[in-house]
Amino acid sequence: MRIFNFSAGPAVLPGNVLEQVRDELLDWHGRGMSIMEMSHRGKDFTGVIDEAEADLRTLMGIPSNYKVLFLQGGATQQFAQIPMNLLDGRSADYIVTGSWSKKAYKEALRFGAVRLAGSAEADGFARVPTAGELKLDPQAAYLHVCTNETIHGVEMFDLPVAPEGVPLVADMSSHILSRPMDVSRYGLIYAGAQKNIGPAGLVIVIVREDLLCKASAITPSVMNYATMAENGSMLNTPPTFGIYLAGLVFKDLIAQGGLEAVERANVAKAQLVYDAIEASGGFYRNPVQGPFRSRMNVPFTLANPELDAAFLAEAAERQLSGLKGHKSVGGMRASIYNAMTVDGVRALVDLMQDFAARKA
Ligand SMILES: *Cc1c(COP(=O)(O)O)cnc(C)c1O
């Protein structure tokens, strides 16, 4: 039986996709073997990766002057790979809006004179810094943002305006494919798969072609975007099973009507949870200011933290899992990615209302 999984990542995947994976697991398309057991150079798998890329291009409207790379090492590896590939002996600007962009900034400091262009840490990451608060370097090699902070529940709906010629680099790990994004506004987008795409171990990088010539000479080949692009993400063996599964998720999203339809569903789901928080009279609290509240990750605290354990125990009884908040912020966190159904969100809201009515 499948329960409602609110884990921040690895996270829930669409049940119908997992059923298809199960049905195809031992014998993929009559080949008498699993997709996992096939050569990555064979026609079958190259068909799978080509279709996954084509479907992702369709879904996101990726312009033809961007490469799509299917890489390994997760988003954390990109924290290092980005400066290796893009810093080009210069400086880069980082905006810190939560734990993940802070980690990206700290990692980049190992590679050069990277600048903190703005931070909302003094406000407890309750908002995104305003344009006036940013100190942007017009000579920066790039401007890095995390457009959805998975731990602090902060989502960027308005992008900062980078100085002319400074490419925007975005960690979209926890909200890629949750709504339409204008890819042409970015120089590079990256996202670990295990939040909204597929299994951990795969990371997707979408990079504008003119940025592929700036890697420092010591960049290892498997970490060099240009080398990986020249080799169709197959300089070495790619994470084949993850790419296959991601491809099925892309097809599922297209079948749902594309990212406009996905966004409508996500807006409705997030509204249910935030409404429950607001209507609780302070029993539950989300610290993020309204315009920056994430549709994917909703952290909330109980006014009385002594009730946390009871809340989680009742959640478990109702088959709701993964609600314990990140250790750095405490309380609860409901991650309501694309694959979380509205039934799951309603079950959570029922628990929240019922629990508050009894314990308030
Ligand atoms: C999960 C996450 C990461 C880290 O991903 P790993 O695959 O563990 O490296 C980085 N950034 C964001 C926004 C995330 O949500």
From the candidates 55, 93, 100, 102, give the one annotated as an active-site residue: 100
CA-151 nearest atom, ligand 1: 15
> Ligand 1 centre and the CA of 197: distance in Å?
12
Ligand 1 site-directed mutation target among 78, 146, 173, most atoms within 8 Å of CB:
173
Please provide residue 44's backbone torsions phi and psi, each rounded to the nearest 5 degrees. Answer: -65, -50
Rounded to the nearest 5 percent, the helix, strand and coil shares of the chain are: 40, 15, 45
Q: What is the pLDDT of residues 243-279, one digit of tens each?
A: 999 999 999 999 999 999 999 999 999 999 999 999 9
pLDDT for 82: 98
Question: What are the angstrom distances between the C-alpha of 126 and each of 144, 154, 299?
Answer: 19, 7, 11
- 0.95 surpassed by pTM: yes
Whether the CA torsion 181, 182, 183, 186 is positive or negative: it is negative
Beta bridge partners of 302: 284
Q: What is the pLDDT of residues 56-109, one digit of tens each?
A: 999 999 999 999 999 999 999 999 999 999 999 999 999 999 999 999 999 999
Tell me, yes or no, if 195 is annotated catalytic: yes
Angle between the N-to-C axes of helices 240-255 and 15-24, in degrees from 0 to 180, rounded to the nearest 10: 130
> Ligand 1 centre and the CA of 357: distance in Å?
36
Q: Tell me if 276 sits within 8 A of 345, measured CB to CB.
A: no
Q: Tell me if 295 sits within 8 A of 267, measured CB to CB.
A: yes
Side chain identity at residue 96, one-letter code: V
Cβ-proximal residues to 134 (8 Å cutoff; 6+ apart), any chain: 95, 117, 118, 160
Alpha-carbon distance of 216 to 261, in angstroms, equals 41
Tell me if 171 CB under 6 Å of ligand 1.
yes
Alpha-carbon distance of 216 to 112, in angstroms, equals 11
Mean pLDDT score, 354-360: 95
> Ligand 1 centre and the CA of 200: distance in Å?
10
Tell me, yes or no, if 269 is annotated catalytic: no
> Ligand 1 centre and the CA of 75: distance in Å?
5
Tell me if 81 CB under 6 Å of ligand 1.
no
In the predicted structure, residue 113 carries a pLDDT above the cut 90: no
CA Rg, the chain, in Å?
A: 21
In the predicted structure, residue 1 carries a pLDDT above the cut 90: no
Q: What proportion of the chain, given as a percentage, has pLDDT over 70?
A: 100
Q: Take atom 13 of ligand 1 and give the residue whose Cα is closest.
A: 173
Cβ-proximal residues to 5 (8 Å cutoff; 6+ apart), any chain: 11, 12, 321, 322, 340
DSSP structural state of residue 33: S
Q: Tell me if 170 sits within 8 A of 147, measured CB to CB.
A: yes
Q: What is the pLDDT of residues 191-238, one digit of tens each?
A: 999 999 999 999 999 999 999 999 999 999 999 999 999 999 999 999
CA-77 nearest atom, ligand 1: 9
Tokens of 129: 């810094």
pLDDT for 360: 86
Mean pLDDT score, 28-52: 98
Q: Is residue 181 very low, low, confident or very high in pLDDT (cuts 50, 70, 90)?
A: very high
Domains of the chain and any CATH numbers: 15-255 (3.40.640.10), 257-359 (3.90.1150.10)
Alpha-carbon distance of 270 to 275, in angstroms, equals 8
Element (H, E) at 101: helix 99-108
In the predicted structure, residue 47 carries a pLDDT above the cut 90: yes
> Ligand 1 centre and the CA of 198: distance in Å?
13
From the candidates 195, 214, 269, 324, give the one annotated as an active-site residue: 195
User: Per residue in 299-312, is it b (16+ CB within 10 Å) or e — as a string?
Assistant: bbbbeeeebbeebb
pLDDT for 85: 98
> Ligand 1 centre and the CA of 49: distance in Å?
23
Tell me if 72 CB under 6 Å of ligand 1.
no
CA-194 nearest atom, ligand 1: 7
Tell me if 146 CB under 6 Å of ligand 1.
yes
Side chain identity at residue 278, one-letter code: E
Strands 332-335 vs 297-302: parallel, antiparallel or unpaired: antiparallel
Tell me if 76 CB under 6 Å of ligand 1.
yes
